Amino acid sequence: MAQKLTNTAPNRYPGIFRTMRARLAESRGPDLGGGDLRILSFGCSAGFEMLSLRSYFPDASLFGCDRSADALDRAKRNLREDAGIVFYSTPEAIEAFGPYDMILAMSVLCQYPASSKVDRLDTLFPFSTFAGLAGQLVSSLRPGGLISIFNGNYLVSALPEAGLLTPVRSPLIHTNGFIDKFAPDGSRLTQSFRDKATIAHKAVAGGITDDDLRDCIYEKGTWGVAIDVDFLPKTVAGDVNFGDPRLAGGIAVEDALRKGVVASGRVERAGQAADGRTVVESEWRKTRLDGSVTGFGTWQTVASAERAGQLTDRQRAALAVTNEKTTRKDILIERLKSRLPF
Ligand SMILES: C[S@@+](CC[C@H](N)C(=O)[O-])C[C@H]1O[C@@H](n2cnc3c(N)ncnc32)[C@H](O)[C@@H]1O
């Protein structure tokens, strides 16, 4: 058993799902392989990951496996209107439903939060367990298939199969999670901690690279340099008069640099195109282990004024009312009332 907590959420990894879909569209064509596309959610928990994948891959054959009886039961109920199959996770069962074109092992190959509190991980969750599970998943993947490992306690680059796996990157891929990383001997490589809404890492030993803290999608059997999936339009509207950049998510790299941590932040700037349309340009920027800063490429979207943060007075007033009506006290009273039998 790897991760014990069954925490999950709908559409938890949109950047990863979009990048995997874009890469599959390149390799399988615009129908993404139709029903022949076989996807495994390893550690599916209550099935939200499968339901999210359904909206990215409408025709795929979806499978989900888990070791928690309660999670499997919830997944079956949540998937009652979906053709996806959930099963108890054993090497035999994984093989029986494989091989797969895509496997997701998201927040599974770890022991959290325990791993954030120990100096060594070898007793709690040895590398051999991580490597055994990851190795089985890689062998269940078809040649050319994609595997995503997010929030793993060990490095994919340390796996015996690493030479088989080519990283797939895009401007949306900026981190492989908030979990602390350990060397194969169980010694600690990084210490992560929460900083506002996102997670920052600090290296506490050598032997880890910036790519080890970013890569989370790999293609099986395509050796060579990393594959860049450049599917987000850099320019959608010609010349745009952009305003000042603002932090739209994560940590400002200037703050991360000052604190000496590795962390990323999404910077946005909005502007008006000559034809009057509103355009938002975004980029993930990240600090590196050597104290420099990198950007993973910009993309532009034609956006509504609201998406660009430009609200009318009436819209601001509506949001002020919303805030007034949804205080912590209001929420608790409503929850209590909904449980009363009359
Ligand atoms: C934190 S949840 C992640 C759920 C989902 N993948 C997500 O990211 O939202 C981790 C899940 O992995 C499951 N798990 C742990 N060890 C497993 C194993 N060997 N095979 C399959 N699932 C496992 C747990 O029972 C739990 O439901």
Q: Which of 108, 115, 151 to mutate to test the pocket of ligand 1 (most atoms within 8 A of CB)?
A: 108
Q: Are residues 264 and 116 in the same domain?
A: no
Share of the chain above pLDDT 70, in %: 99
Of 49-58, 191-200, 218-227, the range with the highest mean pLDDT is 49-58
Instruction: Look at residue 191 in the predicted model and tell me its pLDDT.
Output: 94
The Cα–Cα gap between 151 and 110 comes to 7
Q: Are residues 175 and 77 in the same domain?
A: yes
Q: Are residues 265 and 135 in the same domain?
A: no
Rounded average pLDDT over 140-164: 97
Q: Are strands 100-106 and 38-42 parallel, antiparallel or unpaired?
A: parallel
Picking from 198, 228, 258, the residue at the C-terminal end of a domain is 228
Share of the chain above pLDDT 90, in %: 88
CB proximity list for 139: less than 8 A, separation 6 or greater: 161
CATH number, domain containing residue 38: 3.40.50.150
Neighbouring C-beta atoms of residue 6, cutoff 10 Å: 18
Nearest CA to ligand 1 atom 11: 43
What ranges make up the beta strands (E) of the chain? 38-42, 61-66, 85-88, 100-106, 141-150, 165-169, 190-195, 198-203, 217-220, 227-228, 240-242, 246-250, 264-273, 278-287, 293-303
Distance between Cα 83 and ligand 1 center (Å): 21
Residue 68 confidence class, pLDDT cut points 50, 70, 90: very high
Instruction: Look at residue 305 in the predicted model and tell me its pLDDT.
Output: 92
Distance between Cα 103 and ligand 1 center (Å): 13
**Nearest CA to 126 among 182, 177, 178, 205?**
182
Picking from 303, 321, 337, the residue at the C-terminal end of a domain is 303
Instruction: Look at residue 196 in the predicted model and tell me its pLDDT.
Output: 60
Residues lining ligand 1, judged by CB closer than 6 Å? 1-3, 5-9, 12, 42-43, 45, 49, 65-68, 71, 89, 106-108, 133
Rounded average pLDDT over 60-76: 97
Give the nearest ligand 1 atom to 3 CA: 15
Please check whether residue 142 lies inside any domain of the structure: yes
Instruction: Look at residue 153 in the predicted model and tell me its pLDDT.
Output: 98
pLDDT tens per residue across span 98-130: 999 999 999 999 999 999 999 999 999 999 999
DSSP states along 220-272:
ET--SSPEE---S-S-SSSSEEE---EEEEE--HHHHHHHT-B-EEEEEEEEE
Average pLDDT across the chain, whole number: 94
Q: Are residues 281 and 199 in the same domain?
A: no
Please check whether residue 43 lies inside any domain of the structure: yes
Q: Are residues 144 and 199 in the same domain?
A: yes
Query: Collapsing DSSP states into helix, strand and coil, what is residue 300?
Result: strand
- Counting the structural domains of the chain, the total is 2
Distance between Cα 8 and ligand 1 center (Å): 9
Distance between Cα 68 and ligand 1 center (Å): 8
Q: Are strands 240-242 and 264-273 parallel, antiparallel or unpaired?
A: antiparallel
**Nearest CA to 12 among 59, 47, 48, 45?**
48
Output phi, psi for 23, to 5 deg: -65, -40
Distance between Cα 112 and ligand 1 center (Å): 11
| Cβ 190 vs Cβ 180: under 8 Å | yes
Q: Which of 66, 88, 104, 115 to mutate to test the pocket of ligand 1 (most atoms within 8 A of CB)?
A: 66
pLDDT greater than 90 at residue 160: yes
Please check whether residue 269 lies inside any domain of the structure: yes
Q: Are residues 155 and 263 in the same domain?
A: no
pLDDT tens per residue across span 235-280: 887 789 899 999 999 999 999 999 999 999 999 999 999 888 999 9
Please check whether residue 4 lies inside any domain of the structure: no
Q: Identify the residue whose tokens are 């390799």.
A: 27
Q: Which of 45, 73, 149, 179 to mutate to test the pocket of ligand 1 (most atoms within 8 A of CB)?
A: 45
Please check whether residue 119 lies inside any domain of the structure: yes
Please check whether residue 7 lies inside any domain of the structure: no
The Cα–Cα gap between 149 and 11 comes to 16
Q: Are residues 18 and 58 in the same domain?
A: yes
Please check whether residue 215 lies inside any domain of the structure: yes
Q: Are residues 183 and 34 in the same domain?
A: yes
Please check whether residue 310 lies inside any domain of the structure: no
Q: Which of 4, 48, 53, 67 to mutate to test the pocket of ligand 1 (most atoms within 8 A of CB)?
A: 67
Picking from 228, 254, 280, the residue at the C-terminal end of a domain is 228
**Nearest CA to 20 among 87, 105, 139, 82?**
105
Q: Are residues 144 and 261 in the same domain?
A: no
**Nearest CA to 54 among 62, 63, 43?**
62
Q: Are residues 192 and 78 in the same domain?
A: yes
Nearest CA to ligand 1 atom 2: 6
Neighbouring C-beta atoms of residue 24, cutoff 10 Å: 24
The Cα–Cα gap between 107 and 321 comes to 37
Give the nearest ligand 1 atom to 45 CA: 27
Give the residue numbers spanning the domain of 141.
14-228
Give the nearest ligand 1 atom to 48 CA: 9
Residue 342 confidence class, pLDDT cut points 50, 70, 90: confident
**Nearest CA to 220 among 53, 133, 128, 103?**
103
Tokens of 327: 């205080």
Q: Are residues 215 and 245 in the same domain?
A: no
Instruction: Look at residue 107 in the predicted model and tell me its pLDDT.
Output: 97
Q: Are residues 143 and 251 in the same domain?
A: no
Distance between Cα 108 and ligand 1 center (Å): 5
Nearest CA to ligand 1 atom 8: 106
Query: Collapsing DSSP states into helix, strand and coil, what is residue 88?
Result: strand
Instruction: Look at residue 197 in the predicted model and tell me its pLDDT.
Output: 64
